[in-house]
Amino acid sequence: MKKLLIICFIILISLSFTLATPNSISKKITKITSEENCQNICLDKVCSKLNLPEKICLNSRIIKNKCKKICKMQESLAQINTDPQTPKSCPMMITENTILTQDYTSTSTCITINASNIILDCQNHKIESNGNGNGIIATNQNNVTIKNCIMENFENGIHLQNTNQSFIQNNFLKNNQKGIFISFSSENEVTNNNATENTDGIYLEQGTYNLIENNQASKNSNAGINLNSNKNLHYDYCSDNNILQQNTLSRNKEGLFMHCEYLNQPENNLIQDNIFIGNKFSSMKEYYPTNTIAQNTYLNNLNNVFFETNLNHSLKVHQQKEFEVAVFYSNGEPCNTFTINNIETNPQEIVNYIQEGNQIYGYFQPNRNGLYSLNIDIKGCGQNQITQRYYFGNLKTQRFYLAEGSRNDEGYFVLEPPITPQHIWCTMWVQGFVKNSTDDSGILKLTSIDTSIVYHIQQNMTGVNSIFAIQNILSFSRERDVSLSINPTGNEFQRSEKHFETGWFIHEESEWQDIGIKMEGLFPDWISEPGNLSYIDVSYLYTENPILNSISNKDIQIISSTTPSSDSINPTKIILQGTGETNLNVEMSQNKEYEIYLNNHQCGEVKKSKGSKETCEFEQTGKEIEIFLNLENNINEIKIIPE
């Protein structure tokens, strides 16, 4: 046992060294005068500092690789002269240390790095394109540093391809398909970058042993960080053995997305000390058991992997509303090692709750009509903090029936049941999407999707369970947002009924067609015929009195909209979460003149707090009111009062 404890202690020390940056290790090394002596000096200093046995330390692959990278970086830094290369226009190929002194515009790939051991410093100059090519690409190189670049409107802002032991630092990436793209590359460090409003912020394709640290990834339409695989070729590994730490992933569709297109799963990734804020999905659950997820913070994401519920989201005024939530570790095991920080409703009501094992039981009684939310805030289960908001109110369920689409492997879900047999089939996966919208107007809050599909799957694919899944923004691929395992049926057809809790809003009628249903396995089939129909039930909350027609800034969440239960003197209240500018359009039930208040200040008045930019103005046309807001608080209350 004593030997085992010593070995574990040595492994932990080695891992802590792995997480250190080259700069922090460099501080422990005396001035190096030659490349020949660099690695020996590095090893001696590190082994001494960590107090490791010489035999273990000098034979450590992790420590050797770190020292090798430090020495290469110092050699490259030493080579920078006072008159580095300064290219004049795109496209350009660089083979030596380069400092940019101007902005660049390109219609294809701008900079190709065609040498190892060099540094490209953009000095915060912008390189932009019309949506084509790579901003900067390095292929088959080593020890390349790319820093201080602003990359906009490329297919890939910065692309490392078969490039190892390199550094991507302090870059800003916007409106690219992939902000930073690392493909078939290992032992790179991606640090202190800001990737916003791309399709994917940071994308690893068969990327291994990379460090992704202290980056900001926000408002990316797919994922903040995406660990994925090549979709066209088969490999026996995925994006494995990476370290993702101290990143802030906010307002993306997926904070962290992990997926392999064919027979593998991302494995042995360490995901720790990250912050997930306001994403539609914080991350996928199905790949957690093969990775380590620790000490992250999850705030106000529309879905998370730690809570499971099967709630009735309908709500009636003055009637007690019960709720039950089960809590799990990231690997799917029940967790009872958590502390409840707070449970509250918006608008505020008294909430009673207890904790039993991994279950939270509670209830509250609404005293107003309309849309309520319940926020649960806990600490534990290996994470720093987890918050999740659930919604209740006026509930409807719409049934959509399976119908054949334009392809044999993709169907539609339509309002009217088909009168002839329908068949959707393929070799690896099938999918369908909602073809129609409902008659309800305004912003809708989806609460759940229940599938009842007659299916056939011959068997599981090697190493991968067969699944039913949903996807919020449909793509023609095996990618999905939430999945549940199903059993192969052999040669028989069976009906599968699955329940998916959802959390996203539908802001526009066209967003119904973003709802996708998928099934994966070997030779999957869906069928539907009169008397044995396949369908899905989509449940959602709608608003009335007022109808919330639209909100221009979808990063600002509507967390409640209620009216008094018995009189017209008390105001309508709408509570928003988030900061920034937005327009909110509402339709009142009565054609009266109204006064609007934001956080108890009448709209049109300047808030008295010195230096405040919070503003509120409105225009009324009949029953419709357009409210113009600039919000400074995280929680904001709007009151609408008839004059």
Q: Could you tell me if residue 27 is inside a domain?
A: yes
**What pLDDT score was predicted for residue 165?**
96
What pLDDT does 612 receive?
60
d(CA 585, CA 635): 19
pLDDT beneath 50: ranges in the chain: 1-36, 49-52, 55-56, 76-83, 606-609
CATH number at residue 210: 2.160.20.10
Question: What is the model's pLDDT at position 236?
Answer: 64
Q: What is the DSSP string of 561-625?
A: EEEESS-SSSPEEEEEE--EEEEEEEE-SS---EEEEETTEETTSPPSSTT---EEEEEEETTEE
**Does one domain contain both 136 and 179?**
yes
Residues 380, 355 contacting (CB under 8 angstroms): no
Averaged pLDDT of the chain: 85
Residue 84 lies in a domain: no
pLDDT score at 575:
96
In a domain, 190, yes or no: yes
User: Are both 555 and 499 inside the same structural domain?
Assistant: no
Among 267, 286, 301, the domain-final residue is 301
Residue with tokens 């011959």: 458
Collapsing DSSP to helix, strand or coil, 78 comes out as helix
Beta bridge partners of 625: 586, 620
| CB under 8 A, 24+ apart: contacts of 163-172 | 163/138, 163/139, 163/188, 164/188, 165/65, 165/68, 165/69, 165/72, 166/138, 166/141, 166/142, 167/22, 167/73, 167/191, 168/193, 169/145, 169/193, 171/122, 171/146, 171/147, 172/196
CATH assignment of the domain containing 379: 2.60.40
Q: What's residue 229's pLDDT? A: 78
Q: Cα–Cα distance between 484 and 507 in angstroms, integer?
A: 27
Backbone angles phi, psi at 73, to 5 degrees: -65, -40
Q: Are 248 and 351 in a shared domain?
A: no
Same domain? For 266 and 170 the reply is yes
Q: Enumerate the β-bridge partners of residue 433.
A: 412, 516
**DSSP 8-state secondary structure symbol assigned to residue 416:** S
**pTM, two decimal places:** 0.81
pLDDT at 458: 85
Distant-in-sequence, close-in-space partners of 492: CB < 8 Å, separation ≥ 6: 456
In a domain? residue 87: no
Decide if 360 is inside a domain.
Answer: yes
In a domain, 163, yes or no: yes
Q: What pLDDT, on the 0 to 100 scale, is given for residue 118?
A: 95
pLDDT tens per residue across span 344-367: 999 999 999 999 999 999 999 999
Among 391, 408, 425, give the residue marking a domain's end.
Answer: 391
Q: Are residues 151 and 273 in the same domain?
A: yes
- Give the CATH number for residue 413: 2.60.120.260
Q: Are residues 146 and 39 both part of a single domain?
A: no
Same domain, 62 and 145: no
Look up the domain containing 322 and give its range: 307-391
* Residue 85 in domain: no
**Are 318 and 292 found together in one domain?**
no
* 58 and 149 part of one domain: no
pLDDT, tens digit, 9 for 90 and up, residues 298-342: 998 888 889 988 889 999 999 999 999 999 998 888 999 999 999
pLDDT tens string 188-203: 999 999 999 999 999 9
Judge contact between 97 and 144, C-beta under 8 A: no
- Say yes or no: 513 and 402 in one domain: yes
Do 109 and 256 sit in the same domain of this protein? Answer: yes
Single out the residue in 373, 391, 409 at which a domain terminates.
391
Number of domains composing the chain:
5
Residues 164 and 238 in one domain: yes
Mode of pairing for the β-strands spanning 270-272 and 292-294: parallel
The answer to whether position 86 is within a domain reads no
